[in-house]
Amino acid sequence: MKLQRTNRLRAVSLGAIAVSSALALTACGSDNTSTGSTASGGPSTSTNASAIKCDGAKGQLLSDGSSAQKNAIQAWVKNFSQACGVQINYKAGGSGAGVTAFTQGQIPWAGSDSALKPDAVAASKKVCSSGGQGIDLPMLGGPIAVGYNVNGVDNLVLDAPTIAKIFDGKITNWNDPAIAALNKGAKLPDLKIQAFHRSDDSGTTDNFTKYLKAATPENWKYSGGKTWQAQGGQSAAQSSGVAQQVKQTNGAIGYFELSYVGDGIKAASVNTGASAPVAPSSDSATKAIADAKVVGTGQDLSLKLNYNTKADGAYPITLVTYEIVCDKGNKPDTLPTVKSFLNYIASEDGQKILSGISYAPMPDEIISKVRTTIAGLS
């Protein structure tokens, strides 16, 4: 018995050592991440907070929606809550979750990377009192980069048919004549193309395939939507997962927001028929959005992008994300706060932040319409 007891004691102490060392390790870990995040969050906080009008904003604001605009919202919330003392909690649970929460009346505004569907508009009429309905306010754009990782290839140029064939499994090798024709002088290796797409439903997939469908309908015959439909290829969860796979795999190509480019991933330029191939950037995305038409009726400002734009320096694979609110009949206790927050993000100061964090500000013509609409919210 004695023997057993000491043995147990020893085992317990060993376990204790293991646990405490694990705790020590995690302590180090969280330390590192916190310093890392403050360092990366640094540049976006430099705007002066004095230009923000608070207008009776108070208390706490809950919201949910598109994860594509998460980083932008974070930067805005930081400045806005510093100036006005309002706590804003944006959950980034996905556009679908955001729209559902909005139409059930749980949150005063939602973020979404596609405009409201007719059935969601119908559902919103129950939430917005006095005859109002949910409307889309385009607030920021983002270029979707076609990122690749091929040793020795630096300035890849692709066009819509080639991109469609690569992601549909019709072009399977990097030295394919179709790619070589677009990249004269580049040394393309004899290497299998590994195309990665999103495994989860995603607005990024929706917008990427919308582009392929509009720009090269004969090569992309799928109906589109948030679910990836082409057969073959490989997939990973979230933009970060796709980027991680592209980074790990030589010969890989994938699509994700521009902020994931860098650190082993290069972004392809797109030959749109303009005078030179266009690389994804905040400016080139804004130029492409400037070619868009407003198709929403009434107060709704949903946009239809021109994916076949041939304007110089306009990058066509771009998504626009919306903020969704009621045009009339917002809840009186949250309206002032929502209105002043939207006012801030649509203001020049608010839009200026975007290009620093790989998003695209809205073109002047559209954002001025957005400002007018916000002023009329009730």
Partner 1 sequence: MDISTKKTTDAPPPTPQPADAGHRRAPRGATRPGDRIFLGLSRGSGILLLVIMAAIAVFLSYRASLAISKDHGNFLTTFEWNTNVIPPSFGIAVLAFGTVVSSVIAMALAVPVAVAIALFLTHYAPRKLSGPVAYVVDLLAAVPSIVYGLWGALILVPHLNGLFGWLNDYLGWTGIFSWQGGAPRSLLTVGILLAIMILPIITNVSREVFRQVPQMHEEAALALGATRWEVIRMAVLPFGRSGVISASMLGLGRALGETMAVATVLSPTFDIQTSLLDPGGGTFAQNIASKFGEATQDGRDALIASGLILFVITLLVNGAARAIIARRKEYSGANA
Write out the residues near partner 1 by the rule CB under 8 A.
1, 3-4, 7-8, 10-11, 14-15, 18-19, 67, 93-97, 99-100, 120, 192, 194, 196, 199-203, 223, 225-227, 229, 231-237, 241, 244-245, 248-249, 252
| Least distance to partner 1, CB of residue 254, Å | 12
Q: Which is nearer to partner 1, 112 or 286 (CB)?
A: 112
| Least distance to partner 1, CB of residue 199, Å | 5
Q: Where do runs of H (alpha helix) occur along the chain?
A: 2-41, 70-84, 95-103, 118-127, 160-167, 177-182, 203-215, 238-248, 282-290, 335-346, 348-354, 364-375
Q: Which is nearer to partner 1, 3 or 298 (CB)?
A: 3
Q: Which is nearer to partner 1, 234 or 355 (CB)?
A: 234
Q: Which is nearer to partner 1, 70 or 371 (CB)?
A: 70
| Least distance to partner 1, CB of residue 333, Å | 27
| Least distance to partner 1, CB of residue 194, Å | 6
| Least distance to partner 1, CB of residue 102, Å | 12
The rounded distance, in Å, linking the Cα atoms of 288 and 310 is: 9
Q: What are residue 89's DSSP bridge partners?
A: 62
The rounded distance, in Å, linking the Cα atoms of 124 and 99 is: 9
CA 351 to chain CA centroid, Å, is 16
Contact between 321 and 68 (Cβ < 8 Å) = yes
Q: Which is nearer to partner 1, 19 or 375 (CB)?
A: 19
Contact between 146 and 317 (Cβ < 8 Å) = yes
| Least distance to partner 1, CB of residue 237, Å | 5
The torsion region of residue 324 among left (phi > 0), alpha (psi -120 to 50) and beta comes to: beta
Q: Which is nearer to partner 1, 19 or 51 (CB)?
A: 19
| Least distance to partner 1, CB of residue 85, Å | 31
Q: What is the DSSP string of 70-87?
A: HHHHHHHHHHHHHHH--E
297 closest CA partner among 118, 95, 102, 126: 118
| Least distance to partner 1, CB of residue 239, Å | 13
Q: Which is nearer to partner 1, 17 or 180 (CB)?
A: 17
User: Crossing angle of helices 335-346/364-375, nearest 10°?
Assistant: 160
The rounded distance, in Å, linking the Cα atoms of 247 and 253 is: 9
Q: Which is nearer to partner 1, 159 or 257 (CB)?
A: 257
